[in-house]
Structure 1
Amino acid sequence: MDADFKSGYIVLVGRPNVGKSTLLNHLVGQKVSITSRRPQTTRNRILGIRTRADAQLLFVDTPGIHDPKNPLNRYMMRMAQGALGAVDVAVLVVEAGTFREDDARALDLLRPLGKPVILVVNKVDTLKNKSRLLPFLQAMGERHPFAEVVPMSARAPADVKALEDLLVKYLPQGEPFYGEDEITDRSMRFMAAELIREQVFRSVGQELPYASAVGIDEFKEEGRLTRIQATIYVERPGQKAILIGAGGERLKQIGQAARLELEKLLGTKVFLGLWVKVKTGWATDANVLHSIGYDRNDG
C-alpha cells in the first residue's frame, strides 16, 4: 500500500430533499441510496464506498435533518446524529438560494465537531435567477467558517469529480477499511427492501407520502436466481387498495420496476413476490418499527 494513501469518513448532512442521496450515488458511481422527489426518503444511515488509486472515501449518507415528531422521525434523527461520531470531514448540503430552519438545524449539528465542514451548494443549475448565487454564497460564508464552499450540481459529472478530488485533500493518511470492490456496508436484504421502497415512493408518493415501509420475508440465492419475498406495510385499508391498484396493476408495476433495479444490483435474475399488509400506526409504534427493521429504542 502506498504510504501516501488516504482513507476516511465523510458525512453528508442536510435537510430533506436537498439531493444528498443523489450526490452520494454519483460520488460512489452506483446506486447505494434510494432517491425520490419525496422528502425523507432516506430513513437509515447509508455508507457508500469509493475506492481510487490514492484514496478510499467512505461517504455516510444520513436522513434529512428535521424536527422529529414521532418514533420513526426520532429513529431517523438518531441515525443522522450517530453518524457524526467518528468522521474526518463533514459536508453540509444546501439548495442554491435557499436556507431554511432545517438547514440551520443541520448546521448546528456540525458546529461542535471540530472537523472541517465543506459547504456544498447543490442544484445551482436549477437556480432561475443566477444573480442570486453570489449574495447567497456570501451570506452562507457569514454563517460559519466553512473550510470550502462548493457551488455545484450533483448530476454534473465534472462537478462531482471536482468535489471528490477536493475531499481527498482533507482525509488522513491510512490504509483502506474495505475491499476495492465493495460499494456499501449494507446487506443485500437491506438494499432489496430499500429498492422496493424506492419504487413505492415513486409510484404512489403523492398518495402515500410516508405511510409505507418494506420488510423482507425471504431472501434466497439459488445460483443465477435470487428469490425475494417482501411485504409492503401501510396504515389503512384504503392505502392498501391504492397500492394494489385496479386488478393489481399498480403493485405489478412496482414489482417490475423493483425487480429490474434488484437485478442490476445483484447481477442475477430475480424472482420477486410482493404482498401488502395493513399495520395500523406502524410509524408511531416503536415495537412495530423494530419488527420491520427499525430500531426499538426511541428515547
Structure 2
Amino acid sequence: MSQAFAATQRPEPSRRFSVAPMMDWTDRHCRYFLRLLSQRALLYTEMVTTGALLHGDAARFLRHDESEHPLALQLGGSNPAELAACARLAQEAGYDEVNLNVGCPSDRVQNNMIGACLMGHPALVADCVKAMLDAVEIPVTVKHRIGINGRDSYAELCDFVGQVRNAGCRSFTVHARIAILEGLSPKENREVPPLRYEVAAQLKQDFPDLELVLNGGIKTLDECRTHLQTFDGVMLGREAYHNPYLLAEVDQQLFASDAPVVTRSEAMARLMPYLVAHVESGGAIHHITRHILGLGQGFPGARRFRQLLSADIHTAAEPLKVVEQAAELLAGR
C-alpha cells in the first residue's frame, strides 16, 4: 500500500491533545521520542516553507518514521498554487494533516509573507486554504493568533476566521495572544503579549460548528482538562518539550486509555535501538540526545542525567556509553 493511499485511509486524527510545531525542536528525532511517551498525541513537524519543499531537499524535510503517526506537516507560505503542490507532497508522503502557519511573528518569515502577518490578509489565506483543500483528501487546518498589532479587534478576528471557514477550513488552532510584528523577537512574542483565553472562548461560542484548539501558556494536564470543557482540543508547545514526561499520562488522563503509563526508564530503553541505528548510519548522537534532556527532572540524579547528555557526551570517546550511564540513572523511574 502506498503511503498516500494509506494516509487517505486513516481516520482523521484527534486534535484533543497535540504538541505544537516548534522550529529547531520538533524534528523527526524529537517526534520519535515523544511518540514513545504518548500513542494518542497529535504531533506536528517544524514549519517547512513551500520554497524548501519545492526547491530544496523535499525528501529530507518530509522524512519521518511510521511510528510518528498521527502526524501533521506544518507549511509556511502564501502562494496558493505552491501551497497546493506542497499539500500534495504531504499527502503522498503519508502525513495525516497539513497545517498552514498564520502565527509565526519572525521578521524573516514576514518578509516572505509567511506566518502571523497573513492575519492582515484573510482573503489570501482563504484562497490558500481552498487551493490546498482542492488538492488533497487529508485535512487542511490553520494555526493563527487572535490578532496582530493594528488588526487586533475581535471583529477583525471573526472576519479572518469567517473568511477561512467559508473557504472550507473546519479546524483552527488559536494561539491566544496577538503577535506584535515590529519590535519584539519571536521569543518575546511568545511571552510579552498577554494571554487572552476569553477571546478564544468567545470565538468558540460564536463559531460552534468549527473545531477550535487552544494554544498558549498551557503547562499541566489539569489545565488541559479545564480548557477541554470549553475547547475541542489543547496544544502544548514549550512545556511539552522542556518537560516531555508530561506526555506519559496524556493517553490515560485525556483519552481514557487503559494502557500502562510508560516509565522514564522504559522510554529510554525503547529509544536506544533508534539512537544506535542513527549513530551507526553516520548521524550525530546529539541530534537525538538534545531532545531528551527534559526527562531529567524531578528525581535524585536528574541534574547528573542532564549533565551527562548535554556536556559529557561531547567529549567522550564512546558517547553511547555515556547514554547508557544516563539511562542507569532512570532505573525504576
Fold match by TM threshold 0.5: no
> Looking at both structures, which has the greater relative contact order when contacts are Cα pairs under 8 Å and sequence separation is at least 6?
1
Identify, as 1 or 2, the structure richer in strand. 1
Q: Is the helix fraction higher in 1 or 2?
A: 2
Give me the TM-score of the superposition, normalised by structure 1.
Answer: 0.38
TM-score (norm 2): 0.35
